Structure 1
Amino acid sequence: MRLRIFTEPQQGADYDTLLAVAKAAEDLGFDAFFRSDHYLKMGDVDGLPGPTDAWITLAGLARETSRIRLGTLMTAATFRHPGPLAISVAQVDRMSGGRVEFGFGAGWYEAEHAAYGIPFPASARERFDRYEEQLDVITGLWSTPVGETFRYEGRHYRLAEGPALPKPMQAPRPPVLIGGTGLKRTPRLAAAHADEYNVPFCSVEDTAAAFGRTRDAVAASGRSEPMVYSAAQVLCCGRNDAEVARRAAAIGREVEELKANGLAGTPDEIVKKIGRFAEIGAERMYLQVLDLSDLDHLELVASEVAPRVG
């Protein structure tokens, strides 16, 4: 089981804070540093100093880290046109020496679109139609051989003999992550496009069911490439009950609720819960860290949890 750090900067974090967390995660041996892609806070927080852009952040981190993998859970298809997005991700992959992983979703948070003047298709069907075309375009641009051009005729996006440059450092492309718990379309898109399928913030039982639907879609598609299965869970670890309670309070959550819906408790409790995800086929856990000032939290997990689940 590989442990990855997952942050939510829209809740209130500047670049320097994210850099400190990413460097700590790298130094402590975590497999990857991921961040969300949102432009508006959620819930009862001030969100100061305001949002940071996911790919600008990752470009900076690409030059200030050396080993750790870097990615998004999940870049919103509604935020960017697919051609420029393919360029941005490819450039950051090169800037990092080939350490980028591209988590990509359809987009869902309507309020942030309104807040920053970003068009938001009213129907989920149209968002997924656009998302599917973007997947075709982005992966098509990356896979087009150097010296050839890429053409695409979709309902929402059309590309005319594009040079399909630059290429990512990783060949044939950075790993693509698709996530969610959709019953039909999400598993089908994952089977067609993804290297990794991620289930966020679900129980072990619901995660197992989602994994099963995607495994069925992979089998039905006839693909031969393996799929990596992963889960994301909020993290709240403490050496004792008092420390767990302190960390839960710091993020505005109740301990029992976190134990039911996340990875919360002592290292022993968290190792046991991660083991349940491993039993259903999860190979990676994304640990959602909400208090980005608490680097001791990362140190505790690195020393007391990671060696027992790796």
Structure 2
Amino acid sequence: MTEALKFRIFTEPQQGATYEDLLRVARCAEDAGYDAFFRSDHYLKMGSVTGEPGPTDAWTTLAGLARETTRLRLGTLMTAATFRYPGPLAVTVAQVDQMSGGRVEFGLGAGWYTEEHTAYGIPFPATRERFDRYAEQLEIITGLWATPVGQTYTFRGRHYELVDAPALPKPAQRPRPPVLVGGLGAKRTPALAARFADEFNLPFVDVETAVTQFDRVTAACAEIGRDATEITRSAALVVCVGRDEAEVARRAGAIGREVEELRLNGLCGTPAEVADKLGSYRERTGLQRVYLQVLDLSDLDHVELIAAEVAPQLG
């Protein structure tokens, strides 16, 4: 029997959203039965939108939602390793996990958006160094969480050095919150996923690309003797669903996209059409979770429609 596909809401608040906007969507998602609420971790808008009233911090947002929701899993796609030192980041994520009663999932990426680093004075090394730092951060953060209470953690790498860290606080989930790794790199990304990931996520890719990248992760697991089925397969896809063509067109227009482009590159159409496309995607790739990129955060009816008329077809 095919495993039920888990539906998760994924938001991009750097495009213009307050905490209250995010809270409304999260509560709607929880009431509608979604599995999780995720957000991006960016400090600068993208494209032609104004981004007003300005960015919100990802982990500040999740700390608030941890206290104002009860069931939803909470996380980021993806926190940038360039934004924070690994020791304090481990503390932050562990604290939010405690605040949520053990509902945090930790997505970490190397960082990629040059302009936001320039805008906010964040160093942005070359690609090789970013990945080196990213790999060290994954090792440090998971190492801190895994250190037994009463023992200390020491790490000496090329970019970070921790000496006798108390490795506290501990997250509520033991041994740690699930770790998400993702991306399209052909070698280092699959290798890091094989070492550290509980879930591997692909951002906005077609089926053929997904098959290729999931196969790379499977091969990387085989190289180190890990069972690849331990790693959950997921993808993020933009979503635009309507009860009829007029509603689809209205929702596409609200986010500044063309219907045919969305049909090609995302999940767009009637509930039956979107369910068919997702079902095919799952059949080809072994997809277990889908992160629906919701770009119009004022349209709660959209969130409810997908939960009511798309998700049950993939249960």
Alpha-carbon distance in 1 for matches of 2:277, 2:42: 28
Alpha-carbon distance in 1 for matches of 2:277, 2:183: 20
How is 1:212-231 mapped onto 2 (pairs within 5 angstroms)? 212-224=215-227, 226-231=230-235
Aligned to 2:310: 305
> Deviation string for 1:52-88 (max 9, x for gaps)?
0000000000000000000000000000000000000
Give the CA deviation at 1:149.
0.1
Q: Secondary structure at the match of 2:95?
A: helix
Aligned with residue 74 of structure 1, among 41, 65, 78: 78
How is 1:1-310 mapped onto 2 (pairs within 5 angstroms)? 1-121=5-125, 123-224=126-227, 226-279=230-283, 280-310=285-315
Alpha-carbon distance in 2 for matches of 1:11, 1:276: 31
> Deviation string for 1:248-304 (max 9, x for gaps)?
000000000000000000001100111022112000000000000000001110110
Q: Secondary structure at the match of 2:215?
A: helix
Alpha-carbon distance in 2 for matches of 1:257, 1:47: 23
Q: Secondary structure at the match of 1:291?
A: coil
Alpha-carbon distance in 1 for matches of 2:107, 2:246: 35
Amino acid at match of 1:284: R
Note the residue ranges of structure 2 that are not aligned, 5 or more in a row: none
Alpha-carbon distance in 1 for matches of 2:281, 2:200: 14
155-164 vs 213-222, greater mean Cα deviation: 213-222
Alpha-carbon distance in 2 for matches of 1:86, 1:285: 26
Amino acid at match of 1:296: D
Give the CA deviation at 1:223.
1.6
Q: Secondary structure at the match of 2:296?
A: coil
Give the CA deviation at 1:95.
0.1
TM norm structure 1: 0.99
63-72 vs 223-232, greater mean Cα deviation: 223-232
Alpha-carbon distance in 2 for matches of 1:283, 1:74: 18
The CA RMSD over aligned residues, in Å, is 0.7
224-233 vs 176-185, greater mean Cα deviation: 224-233
TM norm structure 2: 0.97
Alpha-carbon distance in 1 for matches of 2:224, 2:28: 40
Alpha-carbon distance in 2 for matches of 1:140, 1:232: 28
Q: Secondary structure at the match of 2:185?
A: coil
Q: Secondary structure at the match of 1:93?
A: helix
Q: Secondary structure at the match of 2:10?
A: strand
Amino acid at match of 1:298: V
> Deviation string for 1:119-171 (max 9, x for gaps)?
111x1000000000000100000000000000000000000000000000000
Runs of 4+ in 1 over 6 A off after TM superposition: none
222-231 vs 178-187, greater mean Cα deviation: 222-231
Alpha-carbon distance in 2 for matches of 1:219, 1:292: 41
Q: How many residues align?
A: 309
> Deviation string for 1:183-240 (max 9, x for gaps)?
0100000000000000110001111111111111112111247110011100000000
Amino acid at match of 1:285: V
Alpha-carbon distance in 2 for matches of 1:6, 1:249: 19
Amino acid at match of 1:19: L
